[in-house]
């Protein structure tokens, strides 16, 4: 009974997998410590919130999720969205702020879990790739610019990108030189490490895999070195370098937040947007990793997994979490075989949280900001823009508008713009269908566009092929086309609509065809159909129009032409 609830990977666990899982778990922990501190700072939360969000959620995901290698925890974009959602509701650093972050995680977790129970996993595919790319790039720019104040040790007012940039410019004369040296030094080293470290290590004889992994751990090295420098020089006192300070030691206590109605009213929409974005991000990361090993992930289970992880994060004083890209890739490359790798890293993290939080006292904020900037700059994606500009201008424009929307209007507005654009582009694309008047290629049963081929026509018959599903956005266009074809011709006694490309026919289009049939009939013209697809035909038969037209629906265009020739 109880065993049934255990995940498959646990029941089928093989001892051969253990080494990979333990090594990957250890390496991910080294990456996770600076990340969880940095992303908590980005979310406007105390450092422990990031640490707590890296413990229980991993266990919860391991129970419900379907990816073998996804690393769940604090991530950049969800942290940015958390800070955006909470900024208007509570002052930064207050107890209320942290409590609202917990509620946000709980709402998001419950939504995702319920969506999972309702099997709404297909929602992962309701955002087009260019829109996701524009959203992530825009968020990365917003995050990177928001971190610059820590690099220079300047205070800036909270607000949009313009406020932040002008605050930075105004504040530059007051910058803290020691902080700036630490921050810029960390930035330079991290950029250098990202670019060249792996190849240098390979040249001195490391294996490709170890070199790549070691390069990914550069942030931990910077964090250790910077912490030592600040500690030795007592730079927090001597040079006013802003540091993490004391972090409460000990594991988080479990508790459910008290939630007031007005919290739900204020947070449901941000929670929904964070859920959507986090889920889409997780699924795409999990999917691309799973494909490399011929594994499969199940979007419905991912909803349950990410949902459970967020509920666990809320129970243990964290904030919204999801599957992160960089950490998952490291987990995968370091040889993780199952979510046991995550469990190992959660256990290591628990040890750190229990005994070692004092080590972070002298860690400078400027260095955390540098790790964030380098991480998110890697998310800026020019390639998709370039490709889609080349291949499909409408996709490229959606990408750019979503990108600009995130930067200038805000991250929540950006994702709403993205969703609407994703949907609107689909409708826009099919709203002006390709249509061709066709005739018969002499001596064959083939029919081709009269404008391109030398074809035979039947007197008084207009045969029109429409290359799109018919629905509200293009029904009128088709009607206009037919009306104008009829108006231009003389002696027309029949209009044949060839529906070989009509995969769907919605009720708006059906209503249009019904009206059209009556209007044409009133002028003594028969409306006829040919090559109607099975599913469309089945539905059509149930309607008045289908009943009236039952002897005017032809299997093939050829048969329709024959009926006129005789």
What is the binding site for a copy of itself (CB under 8 A)? 122, 124-130, 287, 291, 296, 384, 387-388, 390-392, 395, 420, 422-427, 429-434, 467-469, 471-477, 480, 483, 500-501, 503-504, 506-508, 510-511, 515, 519, 533, 535, 539, 542-543
**Least Å distance between CB 433 and a copy of itself?**
7
Instruction: Count CA atoms closer than 13 A to 33's CA, side-chain side.
Output: 26
Least distance (Å) between residue 118 CB and a copy of itself: 14
Taking residue 431's Cβ as centre, other Cβ atoms within 10 Å add up to 16
Q: CB nearer to a copy of itself: give 194 or 301.
A: 301
Give me the DSSP letters along 273-289: HHHHHHHHHHHHHHHHH
- Tell me the H-state helices in 193-241: 198-203, 208-216, 218-233, 235-238
DSSP state of 65: -
Smallest gap from Cβ 413 to a copy of itself, in A, equals: 13
The smaller minimum CB distance to a copy of itself, of residues 210 and 543, is found at 543
Three-state DSSP state, 497: strand
Q: How many of the other CB atoms lie within 10 Å of CB of 294?
A: 6
Distance CA 311, CA 187 (A): 35
Other beta carbons less than 10 A from residue 38's beta carbon: 30
Name the residue nearer to a copy of itself (CB basis): 506 or 526: 506
> With respect to a copy of itself, which residue has the nearer C-beta, 406 or 512?
512
The residues, ordered by sequence, that sit 6+ positions from 156 with a Cβ below 8 Å of its Cβ are: 149, 163, 164, 167, 168, 171
Q: Compare residues 121 and 167 and give the one whose CB is closer to a copy of itself.
A: 121
The CB-of-515 to a copy of itself minimum distance in angstroms stands at: 7
Residue 449's φ and ψ, nearest 5 degrees, are: -50, 125
Residues, the chain: 566
DSSP-based three-state secondary structure for 397:
helix
Q: Which is nearer to a copy of itself, 49 or 438 (CB)?
A: 438
Nearer to a copy of itself, 112 or 477 (CB): 477
- Shortest distance (Å) from residue 84 CB to a copy of itself: 20
Residue bearing tokens 């313009």:
162
460 or 535: whose CB is closer to a copy of itself? 535
Query: Closest separation between CB of residue 332 and a copy of itself, Å?
Result: 16
Which residue has tokens 């992160």? 324
Are the C-beta atoms of residues 510 and 471 closer than 8 Å to each other? no
Count of CB atoms situated within 10 Å of the CB of 250? 10
User: How near is the Cβ of 299 to a copy of itself at its closest, in Å?
Assistant: 8
Pairing of strands 322-324, 435-440: unpaired
> CB of 129: closest distance to a copy of itself in angstroms?
4
β-pair partners for 120: none
Residue 248 CA: distances (Å) to CA of 355, 357, 376:
10, 7, 28
- Closest approach, Cβ 395 to a copy of itself, in A, equals 4
Residue 180 or 431: the one with the smaller Cβ distance to a copy of itself is: 431
CB of 291 to a copy of itself, least distance (A): 6
Nearer to a copy of itself, 24 or 276 (CB): 276
């Amino acid at each position: 009974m109880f065993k049934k609830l255990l995940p498959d990977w646990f029941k089928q666990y093989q001892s051969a997998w253990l080494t990979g899982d333990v090594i990957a778990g250890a390496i991910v922990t080294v990456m996770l410590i600076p990340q969880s501190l940095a992303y908590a700072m980005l979310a406007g939360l105390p450092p422990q919130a990031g640490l707590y969000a890296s413990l229980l959620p991993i266990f919860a995901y391991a129970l419900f999720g379907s990816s073998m290698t996804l690393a769940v925890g604090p991530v950049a974009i969800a942290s940015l969205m958390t800070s955006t959602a909470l900024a208007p509701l509570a002052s930064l650093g207050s107890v209320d702020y942290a409590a609202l972050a917990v509620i946000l995680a709980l709402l998001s977790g419950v939504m995702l879990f319920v969506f999972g129970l309702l099997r709404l996993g297909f929602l992962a595919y309701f955002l087009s790739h260019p829109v996701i790319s524009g959203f992530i790039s825009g968020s990365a720019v917003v995050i990177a610019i928001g971190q610059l104040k820590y690099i220079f040790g300047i205070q800036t007012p909270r607000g949009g990108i313009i406020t932040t940039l002008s605050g930075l410019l105004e504040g530059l004369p007051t910058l803290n030189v020691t902080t700036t040296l630490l921050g810029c030094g960390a930035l330079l080293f991290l950029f250098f490490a990202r670019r060249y470290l792996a190849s240098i290590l390979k040249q001195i004889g490391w294996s490709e895999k170890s070199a790549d992994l070691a390069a990914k751990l550069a942030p931990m090295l910077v964090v250790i070195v910077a912490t030592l420098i600040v500690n030795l020089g007592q730079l927090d006192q001597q040079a006013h370098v802003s540091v993490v300070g004391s972090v409460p030691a000990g594991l988080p206590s479990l508790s459910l937040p008290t939630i007031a109605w007005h919290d739900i009213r204020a947070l449901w929409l941000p929670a929904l947007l964070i859920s959507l974005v986090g889920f889409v991000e997780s699924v795409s990361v999990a999917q691309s990793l799973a494909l490399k090993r011929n594994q499969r992930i199940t979007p419905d289970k991912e909803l349950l997994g990410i949902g459970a992880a967020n509920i666990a994060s809320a129970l243990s004083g964290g904030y919204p979490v999801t599957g992160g890209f960089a950490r998952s890739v490291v987990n995968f490359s370091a040889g993780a075989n199952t979510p046991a790798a995550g469990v190992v890293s959660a256990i290591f993290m628990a040890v750190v949280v229990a005994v070692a939080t004092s080590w972070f006292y002298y860690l400078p904020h400027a260095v955390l900001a540098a790790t964030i900037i380098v991480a998110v700059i890697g998310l800026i994606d020019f390639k998709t823009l370039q490709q889609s500009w080349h291949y499909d201008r409408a996709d490229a424009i959606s990408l750019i508008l979503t990108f600009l929307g995130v930067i200038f209007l805000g991250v929540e507005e950006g994702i709403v713009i993205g969703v609407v654009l994703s949907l609107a582009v689909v409708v826009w694309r099919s709203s002006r269908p390709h249509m061709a008047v066709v005739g018969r290629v002499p001596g064959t049963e083939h029919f081709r566009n009269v404008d391109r081929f030398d074809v035979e026509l039947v007197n008084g018959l207009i045969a029109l092929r429409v290359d799109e599903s018919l629905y509200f956005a293009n029904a009128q266009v088709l009607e206009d086309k037919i009306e104008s074809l009829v108006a231009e011709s003389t002696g027309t006694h029949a209009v044949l609509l060839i529906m070989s490309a009509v995969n769907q026919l919605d009720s708006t289009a059906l209503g249009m065809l019904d009206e059209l049939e009556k209007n044409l009939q009133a002028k003594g013209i028969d409306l006829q159909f040919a090559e109607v697809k099975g599913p469309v035909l089945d539905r059509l038969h149930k309607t008045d129009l289908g009943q009236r037209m039952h002897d005017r629906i032809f299997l093939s265009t050829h048969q329709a032409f024959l009926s006129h020739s005789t």
